[in-house]
Amino acid sequence: MRERTPVHTECYLPGIDKWFELYGVPDGDGLTTFFKNITDRKRLEKKLVSQADDLRTILDSIPDMVWSAAGHGTIDYFNRSWAQYVGLTKEEFDTDFDELTRKYFHREDQARVGEIWNRSIETGQIFEIEFRVLHNSGEYRWAMARAQPHRDKNGTIVRWYGTCTDIHERVLAENKLRQSQILQSSILDASADSIKILDLDATILMINAPGVRAKGAKDASDIVGNYWIDFWPAKYRGAARRAVRKARHGETARFIGSFTLPKGKSKWWDVVVSPIRDDAGEIKTLLCISRDITEQRKTAERLRIASECDFLTSLPNRRAFEAHLKKVTARARDNGRNVGLMLLDLDHFKHVNDTLGHLAGDHLLQVLAKRLQACVSDSGFVGRLGGDEFAVVLDDIQDETELIAAATQVLAKMEQPVTFIGRLIHGGLSIGCAMFPRDAENAQDLLKHADTALYDLKASGRGGIQMFNSVMMEAAERSASQLSLARRVVQDDAVEPYYQPKVRLDTGEVAGFEALLRWWCPGNGIQPPSSVSEAFNDYELATKIGGLMQNRIFEHMAEWLDAGLDLPPVSINAAPAEFARDDYGERMLRSLERHAISPSLVELEITEHVLVHRRSEQVVRALQLLSDTGIRIALDDFGTGHSSLSYLRDFPVDVIKIDRSFVGRMLTNNTMRAIVEAITKLGPSLSLEIVAEGIETPEQLHALRDIGCDLGQGYLFGKAMHADEVAWRLGSANWPFRIE
């Protein structure tokens, strides 16, 4: 395939409402041109611009006053409601902070607003203030501004987002309340809250009846005149002082604390301290409202305990376990000790549930939980992380030897059979181990590395004990990177099938195509499937990528057929994970019907790993369903695994593909040549089509043709090509391939 050089020219065809990018391909002394459909990209660009405009329109349409500032404090956006509030159009409104305060803020509030705004910028604390603004009516009205910082992943403030609300009526009401001299009326005494008026030094000036009862006093005179902060236990006095200090400076403060009544009953209080201003706006007294939240705290504590306990085994759950792990690793960091972590996973637990039922599985988990607790010393902590996964923390161990010894003991105990209604359940166990601080710098990484060791153990064969090492981490990070990349491919819909021709070795005629996964990476171009290979072990990702591939392939096939091209069958590959849900065949047939593609034009390629997968019954059903509709089934990479002729007997296989490893060595290795020849001769007797993969030289072509192999594919006939080139070749005289 000649390399295409993109021509940076875009054009719009109104008749079909599509955008295209023009490409040119050298062809002899001339230039062959064809187009790439970029309609989706252009529509996305238009959509993003529209969304930005829509967002500004939305912000300008809401009645609340909205504003925004850069991380360093420069205010650069006000919505239309702000401008209208002061009687201007949005275009006339000045976003310069100094100019804004000078023009529209009350002279007595200007310095205070600037001081608090600058303090918030310096400290990163939430900005909140009440002040007076010149309203479009010509009078100053009270408003409350509030802004919250938005930080990047490093904790740096990148934006401030704020609102401003008219609170004039509320402030007037508060002033009226202060002037009414009825603070000691039945209204306050009827409240369930403890309400107090303090002077600026926190001396109690007034307290309502519920407040007197809350303090355990007989009369208000026993409390009035006392220093409010002295009523609090020593551990809460700091919070009380800070609340008074903030209120004296015009801010509302809040904290939660408890104290014990004279009769020994403890109460929890949600306390709010607010400034009270006189008519001149000066703070003369403080309003303190304390609400009894004792019952809420008790309920929250009961819920916390319930949320940290596993219902089935009564062990601490993942949340409680992770909290404990964080605590012991922090303590170990301070005292220079070691912490050992074991992650335990039951082998073939699903088989127990599937064969004996979930009651048997629950019983197995309960018994093993008790055994696990019995195995662990007093310094150990056992938790159930979920499903069939348990974890053990060993605090203050000497070294890896002690951790492995403990794991060995656990393994021996846990592998003893469990009896359930007269039947023995044999449960194997896999244990992944890691040590702090040798293998991790914190609790989160320790858990991650023990899980990596467990995953590595299960990947190489279940059962036993595996310690973490850095090599595993590299493999895990590579796997995580590929999975992340695959998710981005799915999210961006970046799948791009390429097509490699299958050729008749005697004539060079194209007998079909194999669709191969490629994906488009902005800035790096077309990428191979090896860059996301880990995704094909994950059901969700494998299914999504496979679905995108199928859809794109069928779109191409429909376009070729609509163009009147003579299209040979196209092969589609399926990963074992795609059969995890028992509807693979139905989904493919629905997609074919949606695109109006005949099943006879489709071939499904699977490897023998699909056939030996534990979901083989689901695989058989799917393959049989597809085969019955006319889709041919090809067995790829034949001979590379535990190949068996029983596959050809038990599964509806129509095509065998000889793996490239045999073809590549058949000219230098007589055994390989004999295997290729045997497979080739096996085909006709079993009514199977034989395809040789990886043909790269004329010598290989001649050898395969001499032993009777009819079909092949490989770089000798060209690399996989883009759909546009397939269409061009199918519609031109560039077929067949030259066979010498």
Query: What are the start and end residues of each CATH 3.20.20.450 domain in the chain?
Result: 495-730
Whether cis (ω within 30° of 0) applies to the bond prior to 437 is yes
Q: What is the pLDDT of residue 414?
A: 78
- Cα separation, 713 vs 432, in Å, equals 44
In sequence order, the β-bridge partners of residue 34 are 23
Query: What are the start and end residues of each CATH 3.30.70.270 domain in the chain?
Result: 308-468
Q: Residue 96's CB: how many other CB atoms inside 10 A?
A: 12
Query: What are the start and end residues of each CATH 3.30.450.20 domain in the chain?
Result: 62-166, 181-298
In the predicted structure, residue 4 carries a pLDDT above the cut 60: no
Residue 513, Ramachandran bin (φ over 0: left; ψ between -120 and 50: alpha; else beta): beta
Q: Architecture of domain 308-468 in CATH?
A: 2-Layer Sandwich (3.30)
For residue 256, give every residue at least 6 positions away whose Cβ sits within 8 Å of its Cβ, in sequence order, or none.
268, 269, 270, 271, 293
In the predicted structure, residue 1 carries a pLDDT above the cut 50: no
- Cα separation, 208 vs 287, in Å, equals 12
In the predicted structure, residue 361 carries a pLDDT above the cut 60: yes
In the predicted structure, residue 34 carries a pLDDT above the cut 70: no
- Cα separation, 290 vs 243, in Å, equals 13
Look at residue 507 and give its three-state secondary structure: coil
For residue 118, give every residue at least 6 positions away whose Cβ sits within 8 Å of its Cβ, in sequence order, or none.
73
Burial zone of 5 (CB within 10 Å; 0-12 exposed, 13-18 middle, 19+ buried): exposed
Task: Find, among 386, 490, 472, the residue nearest to 433 by Cα.
Answer: 472
Q: pLDDT tens-digit profile of 310-334?
A: 888 888 888 888 999 999 999 999 8
Q: Do 97 and 190 meet the contact criterion of CB atoms below 8 Å apart?
A: no
Q: From 3.40.50.620, 3.40.50.720, 3.30.565.10, 3.20.20.450, which CATH number describes the 495-730 domain?
A: 3.20.20.450
For residue 564, give every residue at least 6 positions away whose Cβ sits within 8 Å of its Cβ, in sequence order, or none.
none
Whether cis (ω within 30° of 0) applies to the bond prior to 63 is no
Residue 381: what are its φ and ψ, rounded to 5°? -135, 125
Burial zone of 371 (CB within 10 Å; 0-12 exposed, 13-18 middle, 19+ buried): middle
Q: pLDDT tens-digit profile of 55-104?
A: 667 777 778 888 888 888 888 888 888 888 988 887 777 667 778 888 88
HEC string of 544-582 equals: HHHHHHHHHHHHHHHHHHHCCCCCCCEEEECCHHHHCCC
In the predicted structure, residue 614 carries a pLDDT above the cut 60: no
Whether cis (ω within 30° of 0) applies to the bond prior to 736 is yes
Q: Which amino acid is at 639?
A: G
Using only the alpha carbons of the chain, give its radius of gyration: 37
- Cα separation, 486 vs 474, in Å, equals 18
Task: Find, among 101, 102, 154, the residue nearest to 124 by Cα.
Answer: 154
Residue 143, Ramachandran bin (φ over 0: left; ψ between -120 and 50: alpha; else beta): beta
Identify which has the larger pLDDT, 299 or 695: 695
Q: Do 198 and 228 meet the contact criterion of CB atoms below 8 Å apart?
A: yes
- Cα separation, 551 vs 563, in Å, equals 18
Residue 505: what are its φ and ψ, rounded to 5°? -70, -15
In the predicted structure, residue 446 carries a pLDDT above the cut 70: yes
For residue 31, give every residue at least 6 positions away whose Cβ sits within 8 Å of its Cβ, in sequence order, or none.
24, 25
Element (H, E) at 324: helix 318-335
In the predicted structure, residue 633 carries a pLDDT above the cut 80: yes
Q: Do 95 and 76 meet the contact criterion of CB atoms below 8 Å apart?
A: yes
In the predicted structure, residue 181 carries a pLDDT above the cut 60: no
Identify which has the larger pLDDT, 476 or 569: 569
Q: What is the pTM of this model?
A: 0.47
- Cα separation, 4 vs 43, in Å, equals 25
Residue owning tokens 């090492």: 469
- Cα separation, 384 vs 714, in Å, equals 52
Q: What is the pLDDT of residue 2?
A: 47
Burial zone of 607 (CB within 10 Å; 0-12 exposed, 13-18 middle, 19+ buried): buried
Q: What is the pLDDT of residue 691?
A: 95
Look at residue 412 and give its three-state secondary structure: helix
Look at residue 159 and give its three-state secondary structure: strand
For residue 586, give every residue at least 6 positions away whose Cβ sits within 8 Å of its Cβ, in sequence order, or none.
625
Q: Do 517 and 549 meet the contact criterion of CB atoms below 8 Å apart?
A: yes
Instruction: Give the max Cα distance, the chain.
Output: 114
Element (H, E) at 626: helix 616-628
For domain 62-166, say whether CATH 3.40.50.300 is its number. no
Top mean pLDDT of 192-196, 212-216, 710-714, 729-733 is at 710-714
In the predicted structure, residue 537 carries a pLDDT above the cut 80: no
Q: pLDDT tens-digit profile of 637-692?
A: 776 655 556 667 778 899 999 999 899 999 999 999 999 999 899 888 888 999 99
Q: What is the pLDDT of residue 330?
A: 92
For domain 181-298, say whether CATH 3.30.450.20 is its number. yes
Q: Do 184 and 208 meet the contact criterion of CB atoms below 8 Å apart?
A: yes
- Cα separation, 451 vs 448, in Å, equals 5
Taking CA atoms, 295 is separated from 212, 291, 309, 608, in Å, by 20, 11, 21, 63
In sequence order, the β-bridge partners of residue 436 are 339
